[in-house]
Amino acid sequence: VQLSALKRTTKKEKRMRNIGRVKDVGLRRLSQKLVAKQLKRVNKIAEDDAWVNEYLSYARPMPVGGEYTIPREQAKMILEDIYGAGPDLEHLNLDEEDEDGVAGDYDDEEEEEEEEDLETMERLRRK
């Protein structure tokens, strides 16, 4: 009596058998339906990749329009032309009159009007 057993084929043997079959029969042609299905899948993956790429692009540093570097000496020279040299607050005199002839302090009339406005608003708040 002969006993039979299932012989497992290794990957190497399967590969060899498939290569031999391709030599004899030739390559199988893909159907249009299968090609369309695979292309649909590829396009979906490409859309997902494009979305992820755009989403991650917000975290990447991007150059900003008008951003440039300027040498320190040139920047200092430009700022001195605009604002002048030295601190101005030390030389500021609030008691001097402006071009309009008004002193640096508020007028008493303006202070009284402001106090009246504050009292009026306080009364309205309490109602």
76-123 pLDDT, tens digit each: 898 888 887 776 666 666 666 666 555 555 556 777 888 888 888 888
| Averaged confidence pLDDT in the chain | 81
Share of the chain above pLDDT 90, in %: 28
**DSSP state letter for 3:** -
pTM above 0.75, yes or no: no
User: Is 44 or 67 the better-scoring residue by pLDDT?
Assistant: 44
Cα-based distances in Å from 65 to 51, 58, 59, 62, 121:
25, 16, 18, 10, 48
Task: Look at residue 15 and tell me whether its pLDDT is greater than 90.
Answer: yes
For 29, the token pair is: 């042609």
**How many DSSP H helices and E strands does the chain contain?**
4, 0
Structure confidence by residue, pLDDT tens digits, 90-103: 666 666 666 655 55
Query: Do the Cβ atoms of 95 and 104 come closer than 8 Å?
Result: yes
CA distance 119 to 117: 5
The one-letter amino acid at 112: E
The residues, ordered by sequence, that sit 6+ positions from 26 with a Cβ below 8 Å of its Cβ are none
